[in-house]
Amino acid sequence: MTEDEARDFVAARCRNAAALGKIERYAELLRQGAGTQNLIAASTLPQIWLRHIADSVQLIDHVSRGTSSWLDLGAGAGLPGMVIGLLEPEREMVLMESRALRIQWLQETIEQLGARNIAVRGGNIRSAAPVAAGVISARAFAPLPRLLDMAARFSTADTEWVLPKGRSAAQEIAQLPRRQRAMFHVKPSATDPEAGIVTGKGRLEDGA
């Protein structure tokens, strides 16, 4: 997929020009911020639409479209949560991030983009007040067993999980307890033929 094809991939999933315009503006802010905060790897800047924007947008193909709340853990520079929130302004998006500089950048970006449906929650995930999330995502955040352990308290019977895991997706599922292995499976990435997305639905017990 070329950069132009990646942008077309994103545009095809935008319901209106306003959403695409905000995503384009976010991509530019991400590019500008990369030089001061190392928001994304410098080597990925020439492929920002493929490696980051389209890679984030593809997650909506694996969850129910609608208004259920979405929790993005370890949001970093807002990937994938910021992109999804801009794409679906009717959905409540919560970006959970612990690093002060990232939190400040995310808040400033949300304000510049006028994204009223997106909020940032700072602090450690383990000590954060639990919220019932309709969707939980996390990109390049933690190994799957540790991630699920931290995220269990935010899940319900209806929670949908979309966890990009690159080339280690199947291997990380294999490391889970048997009950969790039955709950999750791997979907192929649309932006990287060698990468996978761990998907599933349901509630995890704390410490399960």
DSSP string, 111-154: HHHT-TTEEEEES-GGGSPP---SEEEESSSS-HHHHHHHHGGG
φ/ψ (deg, to 5) at 13: -100, 0
Token readout for 127 is 């000590």
Asked if the model's pLDDT at residue 152 lies above 50, the reply is: yes
Residue recorded with tokens 């307890």: 177
pLDDT in tens, 81-112: 999 999 999 999 999 999 999 999 999 999 99
pLDDT of residue 207: 47
pLDDT of residue 67: 77
Mean pLDDT score across all residues of the chain: 94
Give which of 129, 28, 126 is closest to 77, Cα–Cα: 28
CB 131 within 8 A of CB 106: no
pLDDT in tens, 124-133: 888 888 889 9
Q: pTM of this prediction?
A: 0.94
Residue recorded with tokens 């280690």: 168
What CATH class has 62-201? alpha beta
Length of the chain: 208
Mean pLDDT of 5-31: 96
Mean pLDDT of 16-20: 95
CA angle 189, 154, 201 (to 5 degrees): 45
Q: Which of the residue ranges 21-25, 172-176, 188-192, 204-208 would you say has the lowest mean pLDDT? A: 204-208
Q: Measured between alpha carbons, how far is 42 from 52 in angstroms, rounded to an integer?
A: 12
Provide, rounded to the nearest whole percent, the portion of the chain with pLDDT above 70. 99
pLDDT band at 66 (very low <50, low <70, confident <90, very high): confident
